[in-house]
Amino acid sequence: MAATLKLIQGSQEWLDYRRTMRNASETPAVLGISPWVTPYQLWLIKTGRSTQAVTQAMTHGTQLEPQARASYEAQTGHVMNPLVMQDGLYSASLDGITLAGDLIVEVKCPFRGRQSKLWREAREGAVPAYYAAQIQHQMMVSGASEAHLWVYVGNEGLLLTLHRDEPAMEAIRGAWDTFSQYLDGEAPPPLADADSVQRDDPAWGDAAAAFVAAKRNADSADEALDAARQRLVDLAKNPRETGSGVSVVKLWKTGNVDYKKVPELRGVDLDRYRGKGREEVRVTVTK
């Protein structure tokens, strides 16, 4: 049973609440279909390792939402109340819901107006998959049987209708269950193609050229070091030999414990004893 929360959308209290919930606007990222946020980026945000950037497009949409909702109400005759609703672990910040709770509206005000991809698709009657997922999440939480996507530009709006899709809702719940395992542990979701950014600017090019040159010199030095080391090892015939500022020691050491083979540890959650995670940076030559 969904509950209505007395939270003001955009307030600090609302932001703090959202960090603990499975939110409708985050579902496209969890499903891996968001054009803006990857699962890895969402993991960084929800674990406090990063913050959500507020873009011009987001500010534009927030500012126009009341005007767009009023336009929708004037065209449809529906009176819509913006609400924050929760059903268990799932939350939805609704742009509007009827008093009967059977219909919700999701308002989009594309920053590029009629030149935007969203406007063009809506004009053709198509709902982008990432918005469809968000709206199915909203219906799942609110219990509404129908939803309207209202794409508003200037004084004109395009209305598209969506109905409850139970298989889609099941997929949403499954994706969140999987994603929550990353939130509960230290391991992040795997990187997606969208997590990679191609850099062609001069500053990057200069730094990359310097790194490649230094890496080649280091590799050459490592090869020479390994060869010289092996010559000394081959010459050493005793447990310890020293001379000319170099010492070679040959000794036996115990092997590492393979904890997976310890019967007493089977079924034990070793992650509870794992140290705190840290960011790892890898720099490699790709060509």
Orientation of helix 166-184 relative to helix 129-142, angle to 10°: 90
Whole-angstrom distance, CA of residue 38 vs CA of residue 31: 9
How many domains, the chain?
2
57 & 176 share domain: yes
42 & 93 share domain: yes
What is the per-residue pLDDT for 106? Answer: 98
The confidence band for 264, taking pLDDT boundaries of 50, 70 and 90, is confident
Domain residue limits at 251: 202-273
What is the per-residue pLDDT for 138? Answer: 98
Single-letter amino acid code for the residue at 10: G
Mean pLDDT, rounded, for 122-138 = 98
Domain contains 58: yes
Whole-angstrom distance, CA of residue 102 vs CA of residue 146: 6
Question: Where are the strands (E) in 214-272, listed by range?
Answer: 240-243, 246-249
**Domain final residue, candidates 195, 219, 250:** 195
88 & 133 share domain: yes
184 & 216 share domain: no
Q: What is the CATH classification number for the domain harbouring 114?
A: 3.90.320.10
208 & 138 share domain: no
The confidence band for 214, taking pLDDT boundaries of 50, 70 and 90, is very high
What is the per-residue pLDDT for 131? Answer: 98
**235: its two tokens:** 């010459």
Residues forming beta bridges with residue 64, ordered by sequence position? none
What is the per-residue pLDDT for 53? Answer: 82
Domain contains 280: no
Residues in the chain: 287
Domain contains 61: yes
The confidence band for 141, taking pLDDT boundaries of 50, 70 and 90, is very high
pTM of the model: 0.81
What is the per-residue pLDDT for 284? Answer: 77
